[in-house]
Amino acid sequence: MAYEPFKVLKSTAVPLPIENVDTDQIIPARFLKATERVGFGDNLFRDWRYHQDDTPKADFVLNDATFSGKILVGGKNFGSGSSREHAAWAVYDYGFRCVVSSFFADIFRNNCLNIGVLPVQVSEAFLANLFAAIEAVPKTEIIVDLPQQKITLSATGASEHFDINDYKKENMLNGYDDIDYLTNIKSEIENFAAQTPL
């Protein structure tokens, strides 16, 4: 599924200063029985967000109107555990376009890049800085500049460079996914297939 191109995102952010957030928490296994990619945003962090009787837990950050925005700032080792892509869908469908952390689990990072969520890995120090700034001023603005590969706190101008490989960057900038790329080289693939016995 192609997605909106990602260039420069200026937004407030939602802080989640918890380490080792695993994909079972992001989207519990019982929500994997869907046959369509709809409604995953409603179940993002389902068991942290809602009581068993489906009433919201007041102290969870997604239920706190003080915080909002298209950027999710999470603790170290975000997205570990099961490889379910549903976790990245839930993040996207909820409305986040960017997740910031000081370390991402491999497959979650990949899944995000495949569906148009930009994972931004920053240093521990910068992450602490972000959490402090959001805590102090919940509507503080953060700028994620993909062309420059730079994340900046508007208020102070504090910024940091982040890495992304050229290929994925190009995709995100244009809203392409891998299938767009591959369908463009279809004849090359067909030639290859012709020489590859079944």
Q: With binding defined as CB under 8 A, does residue 76 bind another protein?
A: no
Nearer to another protein, 36 or 59 (CB): 36
Minimal distance, residue 123 CB to another protein, in Å: 21
Minimal distance, residue 186 CB to another protein, in Å: 7
How many residues bind to another protein according to rule CB under 8 A?
40
| DSSP H or E stretch at residue 108 | helix 106-115
Minimal distance, residue 70 CB to another protein, in Å: 21
CA distance 73 to 172: 19
Best CA proximity match to 164, nearest among 176, 173, 175: 173
The counts of H helices and E strands in the chain are 8, 8
User: Please, are residues 161 and 137 in contact by the beta-carbon 8 Å criterion?
Assistant: no
Minimal distance, residue 5 CB to another protein, in Å: 17
- Beta bridge mates, 161: 150
Using CB under 8 A, pick the residue from 106, 148, 154, 173 that binds another protein.
106
The owner of tokens 């950027």 is 71
Could you tell me where the beta strands, DSSP code E, fall in 6-111? 8-11, 13-16, 71-74, 98-101
For 74, residues 6+ apart whose C-beta sits below 8 A from its C-beta are 16, 17, 18, 21, 99, 100, 101
Nearer to another protein, 157 or 197 (CB): 197
Minimal distance, residue 53 CB to another protein, in Å: 17
Applying CB under 8 A, which part among 8-16, 56-64, 91-99, 162-170 lies near another protein? 162-170
Q: With binding defined as CB under 8 A, does residue 177 bind another protein?
A: yes
Residue span 4-33 as binding mask against another protein, x where in contact by CB under 8 A, dash where not = --------------------x----x--xx
CA angle (17 as vertex; 15, 18 as ends), nearest 5? 135
- Positions in the binding site for another protein (CB under 8 A): 1, 24, 29, 32-37, 81-86, 106-107, 110-111, 114-115, 165-168, 177-179, 181-183, 185-186, 188-189, 192-193, 196-198
